[in-house]
Amino acid sequence: MNNRPGFLEANVRFTHQVLVEQSKQGNPNAQYQLYGLYVDAMFNVAMRLLTIREDAEDVLQESFVEAFKKLDTFRFESTFGAWLKRIVINRSINHLKAKRLLFASMENEGEPLEEDEKVEDDDFEMEKIKTGLAQLPEGYRQIITLYLIEGYDHVEIGEILGITTSTSKSQYHRAKKKLIQIVKEL
């Protein structure tokens, strides 16, 4: 095994490189194999954002079609999974925007934030948090999902949603406060 720094990272980035290259050449078997490797994880991403199974399935299929059409633009600057995940997230957000659900329930965007109450993560059970997330207004759930679950920072969230970084931060803090309130009431 090679212990050079960066060796593992480079290998991870080039995971499934052969399948990607074969898919770029239009090999349907390679495309099917890539699909099989990523379909479950990408479905979970879409479900967390959309919450409606049929919508998630539609977005998932559209995302794979788009990915295979744009595969010639993929340059291994990230992993294939990260690149595909970005497509799924963007398609999910666009789907929500088309339904005019995103941020429809957010109010008072210009108000200053109050200090967050310190709440210990240990006080919450995972099921209560899942239930609380499901009860959040759609826009709040999107911010929480992108930041906490998908791991995007506020700059990236701003780019994905077409909002400013400060709006992403303030909406995240409001969403977190609302989630805490919902969970306490459960």
The ranges assigned to domains in the chain are: 12-105, 121-185
End-to-end CA distance of the chain: 51
pLDDT in tens, 9-52: 445 566 688 889 999 998 999 999 999 999 999 999 999 888 88
Nearest residue to 79 (alpha-carbon basis) of 8, 6, 35, 13: 13
CA distance 165 to 154: 5
pLDDT in tens, 54-89: 999 999 999 999 999 999 998 888 889 989 999 999
pLDDT in tens, 90-103: 898 888 777 654 44
- Centre a 10 Å sphere on the Cβ of residue 140 and count the other Cβ atoms it contains: 22
Considering only the top CATH level, what class is 12-105? mainly alpha
Residue 2, pLDDT score:
46
> Strand runs (DSSP E) across the chain, as ranges?
none
- The structure's pTM equals 0.60
- Centre a 10 Å sphere on the Cβ of residue 71 and count the other Cβ atoms it contains: 18
What percent of the chain lies above the pLDDT cut of 90? 27
Residue 42, pLDDT score:
95
pLDDT band at 125 (very low <50, low <70, confident <90, very high): low
Q: CATH 1.10.10.10: does it fit domain 121-185?
A: yes
* Cα-based distances in Å from 53 to 36, 43, 58, 89, 92: 19, 9, 9, 15, 12
Residue 108, pLDDT > 80, answer: no
* Cα-based distances in Å from 154 to 32, 77, 94, 171, 179: 34, 21, 18, 10, 18
Asked whether 96 and 50 are in contact (CB, 8 A), the reply is yes
pLDDT in tens, 150-174: 888 888 888 888 888 898 899 989 9
Residue 59, pLDDT score:
94
